[in-house]
Amino acid sequence: MTAVHFRGSARQGPPTLDGVTSTLAPAVAPLRLGPLTVDPAVVLAPMAGITNPAFRTLCREFGAGLYVCEMITTRALVERNEKTLRMIRATPEEAAAGFSVQLYGVDPATVGRAVEMLVDEEVAGTRPAHVDLNFGCPVPKVTRKGGGSALPWRRVLFRDIVRAAVRAARDVPVTVKTRIGIDADHVTYLDAGRIAQDEGAAAITLHGRTADQLYSGTADWAPIARLVEAVDIPVLGNGDVWEADDALRMVDTTGCAGVVIGRGCLGRPWLFGDLAAAFAGSPRRALPTLREVAAVMHRHAQLLSAGQGELHGCTDFRKHVAWYLKGFSVGSDVRRALAMVSSLDELAGLLDRIEDQPYPTAVLGGPRGRTSSPRPVALPEGWLDDRDDPRPPAGAELETSGG
């Protein structure tokens, strides 16, 4: 199997979300995380069911950066859950280039033990180059137990978790990902940033939304700028980076050291090539034709099939079809058939039926992936009463990985 390549377009920057045309920006410096250098300063955000080895490989083929696996729960790892051990295996390319793991945990002792297993026992098949701690998940099943984006409110517990991870990791850099807070009345990001810095975290990522916003509205980048001013460790920005020029604008307006890409790369793994070009100061951006997109789709399904078997791989690929075809003029019958594909040959045959067409530039700069409406955050009873309660929330440990 070979990587897919296509020519980029030397655009002098497409219109950004506010309608202002960008100009050629200077290069963005590489990101330093302890002994690790990330160049360009771009990180793939963990996404459940998405950032598996196949997708990480595909994205890496388009551009360098740090590619993080799906979220791994510390309890499942410590208990050597079979599914979790499969999820955490690094590919040969990752073993050579640097494997990155995100952990979810609510108990300092369990988090520390999980990091020890990664670093000392190399349960991923290699020693990770980087460990990230998830304190940003806004999903109700997580927050109602005090985990994810609810946990930084308990600042002593947050401190103890970060401390346990950093001590267990030793020379492996540990980073933290969080949100602005639970809601507008319970903001946590400045405390979290200072605590993470004091406990030896190498960087902190801030998603510009509160937990109650989920993925609604527009991300607020102003807190990212305030966090940059408040701490000395690198701050990475996350939220509504749909194009490479959005990333440049985020760096320019906030002073952040790099960007974390989530939904923006869904159906567009070549975004990482655009980001590499942008951060190097180049105006080149990819505008693949539908034929070229079809080749990427087939490559993606091949990678999934190689890891999961053809039937499971093609079944897993189905959810990506709408993202890849967003904005293209493709008949509903073909779309439905692609969303039910069961073999690589069937996929190739369906893709061959689609006539080539230019990339639909009207979709550039627009949201991708899941959206939602704001809603109150589900929390354990009494969770907001004592910020200095060090006790892990009862029952918050997740038994399975992936989110």
Catalytic residues: 137
Helices 271-279 and 244-254: angle between axes, nearest 10 degrees: 40
Angstrom CA distances, 19 to 22, 220, 245, stand at 9, 18, 12
Q: Is 7 helix (H, G, I), strand (E, B) or coil?
A: coil
Beta bridge partners of 187: 181
CA distance linking residue 208 with residue 256, whole number of Å: 12
* Strand ranges inside 39-96, DSSP E: 42-44, 66-67, 72-73
DSSP H or E segment with residue 224 = helix 222-230
* Strand ranges inside 161-251, DSSP E: 174-179, 181-183, 186-187, 203-207, 235-238
CA distance linking residue 366 with residue 387, whole number of Å: 38
Ordered alpha helix ranges (H), 144-201: 155-169, 189-198
- Contact in structure between 4 and 299 (CB atoms under 8 Å): yes
Residue owning tokens 């600042």: 155
